[in-house]
Chain A
Amino acid sequence: MLAKARVLRNEEIVPGCYYLQLEEWQIARGSLPGQFLHVRIVDNIAPFLRRPFSIAGAFPDSGRVDIIYRIVGKGTELLSRLGKGEYLDCLGPLGTPFSPARDIAVSVLLAGGVGIAPLLFLARILSGEGKKILVYYGASTSGELLPLKEFLPKKAEVFLATEDGSAGYRGLVTDLFESTLVAGTRRAEIFACGPKPMLKILAQKNRYWGYPMQLSLEERMACGIGACQGCAVKVRSEDDKTGYLRVCREGPVFDFQEVAW
């Protein structure tokens, strides 16, 4: 659906990273973790296209929908200027959500940078279902790490990694996760979102680890609803044929085995 969502809050929480709270009841009621909003930032032609953002939280009882975004260009820069009480043109919720297994009690959420956004929403829902939540969260430096306490259920266990070692494990979050694996680890499933190289490494390593794993992908997008075929991701079917699926429609969440890197 297309709606004008009222801005409740739009604040920089760590340098360059913003927390946007919107009020739009139908979107709040219809959203599932993994889905996204396709946002028209200005009412003119510059920038021309909408921008997709993962939903970081949706609260059906209060009509609130959250987005967390980093300023990466003109579009997000303009978005950061939007003030409380103003309205934002949102298309959504769009895309295929995460599909957690009913019978797996441990959920590993693995995020790089602002890729944490959809996993915060997922963590809240899974925790509500009584699942154990382990969050592995990496960034290049501690200044980029979001204050997760504000967003995560209390019971979630958080493991941090920074490339410069300024907080938590020194190195990549994928290595941190790997270092915690022990033979005969209990049954768990992994949900991951972050930069493409990180997801690629994860997918490769998980061929040996063998966890059920779902990845949330990103691609340059035009329509956001499946019509233009612009946001293609290369996939490999079981009979080893390759083809393209749409990040906006069949995705953004894909099984790790599906993606042809």
Chain B
Amino acid sequence: MANLEVNLGPLKLKNPVLAASGTFGFGEEYASFFELEKLGAVIVNSLTLKPKQGNPPPRIAETPAGMLNSIGLQNPGLEAFLEKDFPRLKSLNAAVIINIAGDTEDDYLTLARELSEINGILALELNLSCPNVKEGGIFFGNSVDVMSRLISKVRRACRLPLIVKLTPNVTDIVELAEAAESSGADILSLINTLKGMVIDVSKRSPLLGNITGGLSGPAVRPVAVRMVYEVYRSVKIPIIGMGGISNLDDALQFFLAGARAVAVGSANFIDPYTIPRLISDLQQFMESEGLHSIDEIVGAAQR
């Protein structure tokens, strides 16, 4: 049997296929389809310090080969999460990575500090790239200086492995990736959604309640693969690749470009069994190719 285990710096995973934040809730909904312990990890929906209502509907717009969402980080807040959702997720034996978002530096620091004290969390993923909230998220992810300062502070506040999720909505993602690495990020997640919009022609108005939303699905995959490819060449820390992955071939593109793990997002909405199927297809692929570890093909397409 091929060994699917993978080390992302300080983060050790049983396999390199994760559920992407924002598409998997707090895991509960998918647990009725398969055992969550099969997953490399579940990256839960963005958690903020205080409860967040989210954006007005419509929040979903279908697009060619993808979709826009403008959820706006709706979540119950840290306290309710720790009381209710987290224990349930742990009882389902999931490997849990917590995605955190904030309006201020202090929000991120408090979240990082408090979650650091909780047993059973594998890592934190900093959401510096949500295109759907005004105050936080993207504000920290657009500027090298602001982002670097935040990452260094969170790094000092927290003992957990630190993943930084970068936005593709910038001129040069490599510059951000390098800055994240030098500020103390252990791992990079590439990419968050691409900011976009759809206009309802019959109403002559934006379709989404929030006007703009984040594009995901197969439509963004070539952009994501390119960004993983470029970032891989300039940083040493491992990359989790995501963006429009729904099958083995899609995932392999990311590994070959330089990702050491992948996350599945909107494909979960189409077929809830996407991730377990991908894990078993990957296993078979590695066996038929005689691979002992996924590391043997990571970055193999680099020229």
Contact = CB atoms under 8 A, between A and B. Distances in A.
Contact of A50 (B29, B53, B74, B269): B269
B218 interface: yes
Contact of A46 (B29, B65, B272): B65
Interface residues of B, number: 36
Interface string B214-257: 00011000000000000000000000000000000000000000
Interface string B11-45: 00000000000111100111001000000000001
A126 to B, nearest CB: 29
Given A48-B217, A91-B272, A244-B74, A231 B60 contact: yes
B270 A232 contact: no
Contact of A225 (B29, B67, B74, B266): B29
A224 B25 CA distance: 12
A85 interface: no
A257 interface: no
A220 B61 contact: yes
Contacts of A244: 53-54, 57, 74
Contacts of B71: 228-230, 232
Nearest to B266: A222
B273 interface: yes
A199 to B, nearest CB: 15
Nearest to B25: A227
Interface string B40-73: 0000010000000111111111111111010100
B74 A226 contact: no
B58 A219 contact: yes
Contacts of B152: none
A49 interface: yes
Nearest to B26: A227
B57 A224 contact: no
Interface of A: 2, 40, 45-50, 91, 219-234, 242-244, 249
Nearest 9 interchain pairs by C-beta: A227-B25, A230-B60, A223-B269, A220-B60, A227-B29, A225-B29, A222-B269, A220-B58, A226-B29
6 contacts: A223-B268, A224-B269, A228-B25, A228-B269, A230-B69, A232-B57
